Structure 1
Amino acid sequence: MINYPDVIMIGLGHRARNGKDTVANMLKEQLGNVEIIHWADGVYEECTNRNTAYPLIKQEFTGPSKIYYSVLDDKQTGARIAISNISDPFLHNIFTKRNITEYQGMISKDPEILQFWGTNFRRTLCDPNYWVKLTMKKANTLALNMDRGVIIIPDTRFINEAEAVTINKGFYVRVVRIKEDGSQYIADDRDPNHPSEAELEGYPASSTLTAKNIPELQIQVHNFCHDFIDILQTSQIVETK
């Protein structure tokens, strides 16, 4: 929880490639004193795995009915956690279709591995609030050095992330990219039904920004700022440019 009442949070959700980071940058331009952080900052850091002594994920044993994988839990000690293809078919499918037995670490953005690591591994096997705790700790550090302002988290994908924002008297805002036929854009480089894409479907938002293109999105962001600026100024949180 944010320990500094003069800092407000905005979480932007929820589907991939719908313009959340673009909105965050627009809000930063309009609101001024803004810091942008991501729940997934820690996911990227862990998946990059610069310690070449230990592969991030490795197929360890193949039996008659199960295939076991080991996942790097601690980069310093090399401690690993075992996962079977039965307990996590999502990981098994990644290795099967890529025809690999070892994954050293992420070189460039790898959506499937990020989904597995962030959700199936850390959230499910370690702690549902693993990333929330890590990110809120970072947010508190930033808030300590902010003279009033806003912290924006543009990759809000889970209910506990949205709740972490709203419990701090912040706002959860949905960003929706619309195609020409009027339907929502769905990224095709990942499983659209994975919890990281679908969990916040239908979750109540303080506001929804819907646009087909950047000019439309700019208008939506401007209107959002206009709607909320009285609250922000009354709280003496921000001063608009």
Structure 2
Amino acid sequence: IYDKIGEPEKARYDYLDYLESSNLKPEHGIFDPKVLLKFGKLFDRVGQTEKKNELYSDAIERFTAKLKVSPKDARLYSYRAQIYAAQNNLKTAAKDFETAGKLKHSNAETIAWAEFALINKQYELASKLALELIEADVTNELIFQASVFEALGAHKEALRLASDALKQDPFLPAAYYWIGKARAGLGEKEEAARKLQQATALGYDPEASLFEDQNEDDDDDE
């Protein structure tokens, strides 16, 4: 909340307090990369890029050390890849994602790889990975699949997937959001606006999506 209302310093201290009171300390294991990346963004916002770089470098070292012990752990390769990607070391990140994909892995690793592909506009790869999820009948990943097809301009397919997700959970904010995006792509502006408003009312935050973050960055560059 502090981060959203423009007080990143307070947000940073809350994150530090959270780490101190949790089992996410380095000596207790490995950090979830989502937490690390959130930290990195906060450090950037308060002008502490050096601390962000130290945080990411430390994470890479820890993931690498653990991979020496567990060289077939796809999760560790995926985690390290996400940090490499945040460092803009895209070739190394891609290599780690590919390695994770060749090992026994969960849907979480496939999703992280697909998000990486989307952010880097590798739409063919992202589509392939999304289809793998569909073939595996991963119903709880319908929203991600919808985001992939929407990115590819397949609005009808995105609408179908998001609508299926909404049937499973009528109060799922992301379902309303992607239905709205798909409706907008189909030119149904009024219905799109209504769905997007419902998503906002239910607390949906587009920044939670890596792909949405990338779109915003692209807009800023323009």
TM-score normalised to structure 1 length: 0.28
Between structure 1 and structure 2, the one with the greater Rg is 1
Higher relative contact order, chain-length normalized (CA < 8 Å, sep 6+): 1
Greater strand percent: which structure? 1
